[in-house]
Amino acid sequence: MNELDGLVDSARQRFAQAATPADLENAKAQFLGKSGRITELMKGLAALGVDEKKARGAVINQAKQAIEAALTARRQELAEAELQAHLKAEALDVTLPGRQRGIGGLHPVSLTLERIEAIFGSMGFEVAQGPEIESDWFNFTALNTPEDHPARSMHDTFYVEGGPVNAPNLLRTHTSPMQIRHAVQHVKKHRAALDAGRAMPEIRVIAPGRTYRVDSDATHSPMFHQCEGLWIGENVSFKDLKVVFTDFCRTFFESDDLVLRFRPSFFPFTEPSAEVDIQFQRGPLAGRWLEVAGSGEVHPNVVRNMGLDPERYIGFAFGMGPDRLTMLRYGVNDLRLFFDGDIRFLSQFQ
């Protein structure tokens, strides 16, 4: 065994020890690189005579080829090992059940809104939609809440750009502006009948939608939902409000013995005003009074702003919280869960 056989052997060993392609390339440099062992030997040839150079050159070349062959073989081994590791990591278990396409569904609050619309629809109520960016007039002033009225501070309002300087536009703080918007449209449609002193078809409408207030905790979100209700006719009394709202709540909660309480309250746009509380007779919430809506007989000033004569037209309005109704119906105790968008929570309602 000559000196070069030893060199080839040590190259094979080094290559075998290389565990990664990068290791192997480093090992290669020691033998075949610019200052590697083989290259050094080649340089040594320069000092030899012609015959000697020929003989020795052939031996070195043989050794070089042997080292190159060992390198190629090891390269393939490492590549193969890498491929196997990769395949193993990606192992596909064809016996696993297939991944199903998730079936989407409606958000729990949307389910509630649909339910509200269906129930009031069955009682002859239309559904109206309106803008979420509202003017000061519709959100406050037309609702008998002029500038500087203390009741304005009950709503922590998000103001936005646009509108008169002293009365900027805002994100509607309730759906009550829809009372005015819808009534004005209705009156316009029936102007001729009104002018001729004939009766106008009653206004019977609900207006569900998003509303906004600067508020955030377990039971308040800066964006929340409300659903307004309005019934205006020639003889629509507080008694009708009680009948309609009681009917609605009992149908909504599928509970015939649900008890309602109309608790005296104040809203600038209704007189008299009441907050509506409900009480379940059975189930986990039984016995507690739970507030679900504000309501009242529409204030004469508001009837006037609708373009109607308050001596002739009268009716009730209410504003309820569909988010709250959803929480009560499903037993959810944190409002924010509805708006976090966590699929684990939302998929429970499908």
Binding site for ligand PHE (CB under 6 A): 174, 176, 267, 270, 273, 294-296, 317-319
- Minimum CB–partner distance for residue 172 and ligand PHE (Å): 10
Nearer to ligand PHE by C-beta: 208 or 296? 296
Nearer to ligand PHE by C-beta: 31 or 313? 313
Contact 247, 240 (CB under 8 A): no
Nearer to ligand PHE by C-beta: 67 or 143? 143
Q: In whole angstroms, give the CA distance from residue 78 to residue 74.
A: 6
Q: In whole angstroms, give the CA distance from residue 312 to residue 308.
A: 8
AA identity, residue 76:
Q
Measured between its terminal Cα atoms, the distance across the chain in Å is: 80
AA identity, residue 186:
H
Nearer to ligand PHE by C-beta: 157 or 273? 273
3-17 vs 50-89: helix crossing angle, rounded to 10:
20
Nearer to ligand PHE by C-beta: 221 or 295? 295
- Minimum CB–partner distance for residue 270 and ligand PHE (Å): 5
Nearer to ligand PHE by C-beta: 245 or 267? 267
Neighbours of 119 (CB within 10 A): 17
- Minimum CB–partner distance for residue 205 and ligand PHE (Å): 12
- Minimum CB–partner distance for residue 274 and ligand PHE (Å): 8
Contact 297, 272 (CB under 8 A): yes
Contact 211, 303 (CB under 8 A): no
Q: In whole angstroms, give the CA distance from residue 125 to residue 118.
A: 9
Neighbours of 165 (CB within 10 A): 5
- Minimum CB–partner distance for residue 112 and ligand PHE (Å): 17
AA identity, residue 57:
G
Nearer to ligand PHE by C-beta: 319 or 322? 319
Residue 238: is it exposed, middle or buried by C-beta count within 10 angstroms (0-12/13-18/19+)?
middle
Q: Are strands 203-212 and 223-233 parallel, antiparallel or unpaired?
A: antiparallel
Neighbours of 114 (CB within 10 A): 12
- Minimum CB–partner distance for residue 294 and ligand PHE (Å): 3
Nearer to ligand PHE by C-beta: 238 or 345? 238
Q: What are phi and psi of 126, to 5 degrees?
A: -80, 165
Point out the residue whose Cβ comes nearest to ligand PHE. Answer: 319
- Minimum CB–partner distance for residue 152 and ligand PHE (Å): 12
